[in-house]
Amino acid sequence: MKKTLALALALAAALPMAASAHKQWIIPSQAVVNGSDVWVTFDAAVSNQLFFPDHVPMRLDGIRVTAPDGSQVELANGATGKYRSTFDVQLAQPGTYRIANASAGMSARWDTPESLAAKARAEAAGTPATGPGAPPATRGGFLRNATAEDLATKVPADAENLEVTQTASRVETFVTNGAPNSTALAATGEGIELEPVTHPNDLFAGEEASFRVLVDGKPAAGLAFEIVRGGTRYRNAQDDIAATTDAQGLLRVTWPEAGIYWLETGVEDDKATLPQATARRLRYVATLEVLPQ
């Protein structure tokens, strides 16, 4: 049994990361506009139901807007409520804008003597010692978005089974004023990124679109995506589309109908570059508007 469990864990580590129950997203009031004095309003949240804010707002301090010439644009009229954040962007230049919340850091988990004792009691009682159903006392300690200083000062001296994971995530969307361009879409070479072959603001129902998916700036084969059209609250099935990048790292999607689509992928590997980390977790989310024919 121990050998089987070890094999299962090894296989799980090699596979793309499973989709999160909570969905992060940024959506524009419209993704294709045309004019000399154009504004677009954005909603940003982390929700259980897609594009229906019902969990927590996305914080605005991590959101960056890249203009068609590569410069940065300030958010206007930002506000954060109980379930969502909103902000406006003036599209003063013609071309394509990238609106992204990208973050990188570390997370840490560890056991304490108290959590280990609670796990032992749970196992002796035949109840779950970890995961769903486990008593709160078994959870030990956890740090999110941790720095090296956090690890040095906030992890207790008696911590056991310390696991430090390097993390990088990107949540983004795209808006074009007039004719599209690609300057704002240039890859940074960090984490998972979408390099458009089909422009992200030139998507139509019934047509195939393709994107090259990069990990650390290189095409990534075999990356599994979950793709869901908005409005899940008003239908009985999520109707998700499963798609995987090919040997050249290309993701090909034929949109079944018009709407706002949410794309997510993630991967866990052992390619951490921070000295404290032993594993790495990458995540990518995009929202794309697909127009009718």
End-to-end Cα separation, the chain, in angstroms: 55
Lowest-confidence range among 56-70, 141-155, 212-226? 141-155
pTM across the whole model: 0.86
- 15 pLDDT exceeds 60? no
Q: Is residue 150 helix, strand or coil?
A: helix
d(CA 54, CA 120): 36
Superfamily of domain 12-105+166-290: Immunoglobulins (2.60.40.10)
Q: Tens of pLDDT along 57-106? A: 999 999 999 999 999 999 999 999 999 999 999 999 999 999 999 999 99
Q: What is the pLDDT of residue 259?
A: 96
β-bridge mates for residue 162, sequence order = none
Domain extent listing, the chain: 12-105+166-290, 106-165
Residue 265 exposed, middle or buried by CB count within 10 Å (0-12, 13-18, 19+): buried
Asked whether the beta carbons of 106 and 146 are under 8 A apart, the reply is: yes
Integer-rounded Cα radius of gyration of the chain: 21
> 34-52 pLDDT, tens per residue?
999 999 999 999 999 999 9
Burial of residue 111 (CB within 10 Å: 0-12, 13-18, 19+) is buried
CB 196: neighbour CB atoms within 10 A?
17
Cβ-contact 253, 243 below 8 angstroms: yes
SS3 162: strand
Q: Is residue 288 classed as helix, strand or coil in its secondary structure?
A: strand
